[in-house]
Amino acid sequence: MLNMKVKKFVSIFFTVFVLITVCAGNKCYAQLDDKNTRPKAKWLRDRGPFDPRPYDNTLFGAGLINEDYFNFKNQLWIKNGISFGGYISANVQWGSVGGPTHGISETLLLFTWEPVRTSKSAGRLVVGIAIDQTFGRPTTREFADNQRIVETPNDLDTDPDLNFTTLGLLHWEHEWRTSPNGGLGIRAGQLYGPSYFGPARYLDDDRRYFMARPLAAASGAQWVGNNDIGLGVIGVAWETPWYISLGCMDGKANRQYPDFESLMDGQMLYLVEVGYEYDVDGPNEAALRLTVSHLDVQGGGGPGQSFMISGDIHFWNQLSLAARWSKSFNRLTSDYKDNISLGILMVNPFGRTQDLAGLGGFFGQPGESNYNRESGFELFYKLQLTQAISLTPDLQYWYRKDDGTSGNVNTWVWGLRSEIEF
């Protein structure tokens, strides 16, 4: 009975949404310059397609992908409402326990088209494709098993296959009543949860790799795996300095393509987030977020709930602190049932405005009941070589007290990550 009600609600919601967006799409397209683009809360704005490069103060100057390219992209978005880009990254990791090294790459392609622009509204189509490739064995999960750690030291995993391609984003976004202080918005279609809920970036540095799971928040809450990509609807409202987001996504969709058959089963992931932002774009900018989720999937990893409190604060444009506490209920396996993490970031190390240096640590209880608490820390430095190319050396340490099976776990993991953003 509940599933039938959910199905009916989702069908009505999507029908109403399509009617609204079609009507809104009939409005004229207003060309806007960079002085008239609709401002919004910082946390919401950072999730948009605008690319602020070119960078200054890189190690080797502009490089092949230079200032003209990024200026062209920015003008294309401002004048025509078209944005494209992405990145190609590759990293390799070594572990102190032994076993072969682990290498993996990810390619992300993003496209945004905003055909609806008026003085107080906007509508856009968002497309995102991710391609993950493991360089032979071991996979990320196998590498973690070799190092005897519960969580993976890299937030990607293509096990049991060595490659994985997903249409992670294919949705329509629409905003109404946008102003310098508030507005309303909605998203519908194929959604990627971590993009819109929780601190998707560890220490606000957007690395996307290494200790992202224990130190940041996969899926915006403590549910990951087959719950972070699927068809759904998200609504958001903001009135500076507050915002609230509510989302309903397919809780067990096939992550590679829009899965309408799974959606009709009515087993959903529900997410709510309330956020507060202070001194936006100021020297002491801060944000605090509460994220709550309920996963209505039977068996395996649910049903269950999760709570998370996360925040970050900047000091004098020199340092940044980020922290998170999360707790999951009725979680059966994988990742952590509860976790706390703290990190500090130098945003201008050695006077280099485009480099980043960070130190983060975590302490969590694995979902597997037969494991003791696992903890660790990570030290990294992101060196911006050119406007498009960066290099990130990384050092991790993992520890878990003897759980009665194989003694204490002490593992050092070294990593090197390279990325080309375009």
- 25-29, 85-89, 160-164, 408-412: least confident range: 25-29
Q: What is the mean pLDDT of residues 344-367?
A: 87
Q: What is the mean pLDDT of residues 179-206?
A: 78
List the structure tokens of 154. 């890299």
Which pLDDT value is given to residue 385?
93
Best-predicted range by mean pLDDT (6-10, 145-149, 195-199): 145-149
Do the beta carbons of residue 203 and residue 360 sit within 8 Å?
yes
Q: What is the mean pLDDT of residues 213-238?
A: 72
- The SS3 assignment for 129 reads strand
**Does the structure show a pLDDT above 70 at 69?**
yes
Higher-confidence residue of 314 and 21: namely 314
Of 186, 164, 167, 166, nearest to 175 (Cα)?
186
Contacts of the segment 348-354: beta carbons below 8 A, 24+ positions apart: 348/317, 348/318, 349/381, 352/57, 352/59, 352/384, 353/56, 353/57, 354/55, 354/56, 354/57, 354/58, 354/384
Please, which pLDDT band fits residue 331 given cuts at 50, 70 and 90? low
Q: Categorise residue 119: left if φ over 0, alpha if ψ from -120 to 50, beta otherwise.
A: alpha
- The boundaries of the domain holding residue 380 are 2-421
What is the spatial distance between Cα 184 and Cα 190, in angstroms, rounded to a whole number? 20
Task: Give the position of tokens 């309303």.
Answer: 184
- 53-67, 279-293, 323-337: least confident range: 323-337
Provide the number of structural domains found in the chain.
1
Which pLDDT value is given to residue 93?
94
Please, which pLDDT band fits residue 20 given cuts at 50, 70 and 90? very low
**Does the structure show a pLDDT above 50 at 32?**
no
Summarised one tens digit per residue, pLDDT across range 132-186 is 899 888 988 889 889 988 888 887 767 778 888 999 899 999 998 877 678 899 9
Summarised one tens digit per residue, pLDDT across range 278-294 is 887 778 888 898 988 88
**Does the structure show a pLDDT above 50 at 36?**
no
Burial of residue 187, with CB atoms counted within 10 A of its CB: 0-12 exposed, 13-18 middle, 19 or more buried: buried
**Does the structure show a pLDDT above 90 at 226?**
no
Q: What is the mean pLDDT of residues 356-360?
A: 90
Which pLDDT value is given to residue 220?
43
Which pLDDT value is given to residue 136?
84
Which pLDDT value is given to residue 202?
63
- The SS3 assignment for 78 reads helix
**Does the structure show a pLDDT above 60 at 14?**
no
Which pLDDT value is given to residue 203?
58
Higher-confidence residue of 227 and 309: namely 309
Please, which pLDDT band fits residue 334 given cuts at 50, 70 and 90? low
What is the spatial distance between Cα 161 and Cα 134, in angstroms, rounded to a whole number? 8
Higher-confidence residue of 236 and 219: namely 236
CA 337 to chain centre: 20
Amino acid at 318: Q
CATH of the domain at 52: 2.40.160.10
**Does the structure show a pLDDT above 90 at 59?**
no
**Does the structure show a pLDDT above 70 at 318?**
yes
Please, which pLDDT band fits residue 40 given cuts at 50, 70 and 90? low
Higher-confidence residue of 261 and 333: namely 261
Mean pLDDT of the chain: 80
Higher-confidence residue of 304 and 323: namely 323
